């Protein structure tokens, strides 16, 4: 019998690639939807790639037909070049509708911790809107809400390390006492697959076993990469201004003001028990030699091809 087919968005991206790998290891067949199907094939022919084609819903339906579960990671990190969160929400609605029409059994949707419709931060607001719409859609669903995801291809942790390696100062926005609870990308993928195989509707956070203040996290990274940078504090506006200068120098958006606000509000921690096992400290000590050697560019990944 042919193994069941799942569709993963972004299998050449960050979390989607670990999801696809995990599904293949579980014996499933995997198809991916991606913004860029012509990227080098990481899976040596084992994953067939199709464009998102949000503007051709009928084509999207055909790509999803026959799939058991849709694993959705699609999102934009920040508004850029006229593509904002509303646009990503609209595309996600098209994707969910296509999955329903194609007869997909279940949707596993990757959201974010502490998504609330009342949030003043558009990222968290719109994520909550989509969560609600999926819950109300009548489809079988699992919502997985990661904190901050660490792994070899990650951007945030890598770029903190990159700054620590290159500059004599690291400027922490605000008091640095706000907390984060990093989750390993492999654990996120395993959790998604675990809930994808279940029948009942479920929503849960993907959160690692350790919580750090931002100061502790930066200090841990500084020690791991052998940096002697001084860690100083500055008002969030100033830190954001400096981040924008660095972003301009590397032709990227290093961090947005909303992201700093989300961090400072402690939105990247879970209020439930940890759901993942990998220790961030152990991972950093194992990978410190590689972390931050090169800059990881969001615009390079998604806008310059
Ligand atoms: N990374 C984290 O620390 C973190 C934390 C909390 C929640 N999340 C959530 O986890 C999910 C996956 O995040 P990720 O970091 O693994 O993302 P990613 O792989 O960089 O992107 C996920 C998918 O969205 C597409 N995409 C991203 N930016 C796009 C853009 N500007 N235009 C068009 N398509 C775009 C990607 O396209 P390609 O197919 O071309 O790669 C990919 O298919 C997202 O829903 C995110 O909100 C992530």
Q: For the stretch 244-277, what's the b/e string if a residue is b when 16 or more beta carbons lie within 10 angstroms of its beta carbon?
A: eebbeeeebbbbbbbbbbbbbebbbbbeeebbbe
- So what's the pLDDT on residue 1? 79
Atom nearest to 149 CA in ligand 1: 3
Is it the case that residue 71 has pLDDT exceeding 90? yes
Q: To the nearest whole percent, how much of the chain has pLDDT over 90?
A: 96
How far is Cα 2 from Cα 86, in angstroms, rounded to an integer? 38
With a 6 Å cutoff on the Cβ, whether 112 touches ligand 1 is yes
What's the mean pLDDT when you consider all of the chain?
97
- Render pLDDT for 275-284 as a digit per residue (tens, 0 to 9): 999 999 999 9
- Choosing from 9, 15, 299 the residue with most ligand 1 atoms within 8 A of its CB, the one to mutate for a pocket test is 15
Kindly state the DSSP code that residue 293 receives in the 8-state scheme. S
- So what's the pLDDT on residue 73? 98
Is it the case that residue 195 has pLDDT exceeding 90? yes
- Choosing from 8, 10, 41 the residue with most ligand 1 atoms within 8 A of its CB, the one to mutate for a pocket test is 10
How far is Cα 251 from Cα 40, in angstroms, rounded to an integer? 23
With a 6 Å cutoff on the Cβ, whether 146 touches ligand 1 is yes
Is it the case that residue 235 has pLDDT exceeding 80? yes
How far is Cα 6 from Cα 20, in angstroms, rounded to an integer? 9
Atom nearest to 112 CA in ligand 1: 7
- Render pLDDT for 91-131 as a digit per residue (tens, 0 to 9): 999 999 999 999 999 999 999 999 999 999 999 999 999 99
**Ligand 1 mean position to 168 CA, how many Å?**
31
With a 6 Å cutoff on the Cβ, whether 7 touches ligand 1 is no
- The backbone region for 44, taken as left when phi is positive above 0, alpha when psi lies in -120 to 50, beta otherwise, is left
- So what's the pLDDT on residue 304? 83
């Amino acid at each position: 019998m042919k193994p069941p087919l799942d569709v993963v968005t972004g299998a050449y991206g960050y979390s989607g690639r670990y999801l696809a790998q995990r599904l293949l290891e579980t014996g499933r067949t995997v198809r991916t939807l991606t913004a860029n199907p012509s990227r080098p094939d990481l899976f040596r022919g084992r994953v067939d790639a199709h464009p998102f084609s949000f503007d051709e819903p009928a084509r999207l339906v055909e790509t999803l037909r026959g799939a058991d579960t849709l694993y959705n990671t699609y999102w934009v990190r920040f508004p850029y070049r006229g593509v904002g969160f509303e646009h990503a929400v609209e595309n996600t609605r098209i994707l969910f509708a296509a999955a329903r029409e194609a007869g997909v059994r279940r949707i596993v949707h990757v959201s974010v911790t502490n998504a609330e419709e009342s949030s003043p931060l558009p990222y968290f607001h719109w994520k909550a809107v989509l969560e609600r719409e999926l819950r109300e859609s009548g489809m079988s669903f699992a919502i997985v809400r990661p904190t901050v995801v660490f792994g070899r291809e990650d951007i945030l942790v890598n770029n903190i390390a990159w700054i620590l390696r290159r500059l004599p100062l690291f400027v922490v926005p605000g008091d640095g006492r706000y907390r984060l609870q990093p989750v390993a990308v492999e654990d996120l993928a395993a959790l998604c697959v675990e809930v994808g195989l279940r029948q009942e509707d479920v929503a849960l956070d993907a959160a690692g076993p350790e919580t750090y203040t931002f100061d502790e996290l930066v200090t841990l990274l500084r020690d791991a990469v052998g940096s002697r940078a001084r860690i100083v504090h500055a008002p969030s506006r100033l830190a954001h201004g400096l981040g924008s200068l660095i972003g301009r120098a590397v032709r990227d958006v290093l961090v947005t003001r909303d992201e700093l606000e989300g961090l400072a509000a402690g939105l990247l921690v879970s209020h439930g028990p940890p759901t993942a096992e990998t220790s961030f400290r152990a991972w950093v000590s194992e990978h410190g030699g590689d972390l931050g050697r090169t800059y990881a560019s969001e615009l390079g990944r998604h806008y310059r091809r």
